[in-house]
Amino acid sequence: MSEVEDRLEKLEELIKIQADEGNWNYSPYMHGLLVGMLVAKSVFNDESPEYPDAPEQWLEDIEMLDKFNKSGAVIE
């Protein structure tokens, strides 16, 4: 295996991890990270990548709302 093929394989492993549920849809940053990795892979493969759409709600927002609701804070 050539050095380029080895690096592409490592990139594909990283993409697989980043594309897991809970990673790519956690925040806009994590979504952008996946998109950037797909762009990098497309440079190697000379293909047009398919980008995942942003979710309707980021997981970090859901977690923050849950923490707020459990805090008992009252906003008037």
Domains: count for the chain: 1
Domain of residue 47, residue span: 3-71
What is the rounded (10 degree) CA torsion for 52, 20, 16, 46? 0
For residue 16 the two structure tokens come to 């697989």
Q: Which pLDDT tens digit goes with each residue over 8-44?
A: 999 999 999 999 999 999 999 999 999 999 999 999 8
Distance set, CA 69 to CA 29, 59, 61, 62, 75 (Å): 24, 15, 12, 11, 11
Inside any domain, residue 32 = yes
What is the mean predicted confidence (pLDDT) over 42-47?
A: 92
Global pTM?
A: 0.83
Inside any domain, residue 33 = yes
Output DSSP code: residue 34.
H
- Closest of 4, 30, 28 to residue 19, by C-alpha: 30
Q: Which pLDDT tens digit goes with each residue over 49-73?
A: 999 999 999 999 998 888 877 877 6
Inside any domain, residue 76 = no
